[in-house]
A = this chain, B = another copy of it.
C-alpha cells in the first residue's frame, strides 16, 4: 500500500477475527519496529511478542482500556530498558516513550499496509505489567500493541475517530 494512503487511512481496531497472522507478516512488523530511529541511536527498546493468549489476558488487567488485547492474534509489548537513559538526567521518561511511539507507529503502519489491524494499550499499572512480563527492575512497558485481522464490521463500526481541524491544530512560526 502507498505510504501516505496507509498513514491517513489507518484506524485503531479493537475487535479482531479469530484468524492467525502469518509468521512472515509478524516478522515484517517486528522489522519495521526495529528500523525506527531513536535519540542518539541509543536503541532503548525491546519487543516481547506474545502469541499465547494467557499472557495477554494477564497483561490486559494492567491497563485501564486493554480489554482488546486478549482476543488479538498477537501482541507486541514495547519495553524501555534503563541503560540508555542514565547519562541524560531528567529526560529518562521523556525520550524513551517518544522513541517507543515511533517504533509503534512503524509496526502499526507496516501491519495496516498488509491488512492487519491494531490498537495500542497503555499499561496504567506499570508494575503490574513489569511483573507479568518478568522484566528486570527499572525496565518499563511503554505500550502494548494488539494486532490481528479486524472482526467483521469492526472497522466500519469504529469509523474514523474525529480529529480537530488542521487549522486549529497548527500554528505558524510561534504559538
Contact = CB atoms under 8 A, between A and B. Distances in A.
Interface of A: 1-4, 6-8, 10, 12, 28, 30-32, 34-37, 39-41, 43, 45-52, 55, 65, 79, 91, 93-95, 97-106, 109-110, 112-114, 120, 122, 124, 133-136, 139, 142-143, 161-164, 166, 169-175
Nearest to A161: B41
Q: Can you tell how many copies of this chain the complex includes?
A: 2
A124 B94 CA distance: 10
| Closest 9 A/B residue pairs (Cβ) | A101-B101, A3-B113, A105-B105, A98-B101, A97-B97, A3-B6, A97-B98, A102-B105, A101-B102
A7 B34 contact: no
Contacts of A10: 35, 37
Given A3-B1, A48-B172, A163 B43 contact: yes
Contacts of A1: 2-3
16 contacts: A1-B2, A2-B2, A3-B112, A4-B113, A7-B106, A8-B31, A30-B169, A43-B164, A49-B170, A49-B171, A49-B172, A55-B174, A94-B97, A97-B97, A98-B98, A133-B175
